[in-house]
Amino acid sequence: MSRVFCAVLCAFLCFDGSASAFARTVTEKQKLNFIEAYVAAMTFEDVCKSWRLDLAKAALARAYFSFGDDDFAPGGRYHEPFLENTVHFKSKIAGIGEDMTCDMAEMMFGPSGNIIPGWMKRR
């Protein structure tokens, strides 16, 4: 995931959430990068019982990238990349255990995360 994308998304999430705070020019690559991060955070939430995805911030980010509710569903515009990322990410963390998965969740999306800081919170 590019650092520019992360910086833009992090800045967006730190503001009041108003999508009008930024230009609405979003590239397809940025959308795919978001899907990758979104799938990772949701997978962490499923496996790691001590961290949860901040649904309000995730919803704001989905709105910023103009994803509709049906975009990730079967037949949706982004179903294939969503499914591919889900399978890929679940296979990456399979067998590493809950403790290491939770450490990864914190490292990537916790308060000082290096992908999207503050996207996940302790339960």
* Tens-place pLDDT, residues 28-87: 999 999 999 999 999 999 999 999 999 999 999 999 999 998 999 999 999 999 999 999
The token pair at 37 is 């991060």
pLDDT in tens, 74-112: 999 999 999 999 999 999 999 899 999 999 999 999 999
| 3-class DSSP assignment, residue 21 | helix
Q: Which H helix or E strand runs over 81? A: helix 79-93
All residues at 6 or more sequence positions from 117 whose CB lies less than 8 Å from its CB, including other chains: 10, 109, 110, 111
Is residue 18's pLDDT more than 60?
no
Which of 18 and 90 is assigned the larger pLDDT? 90
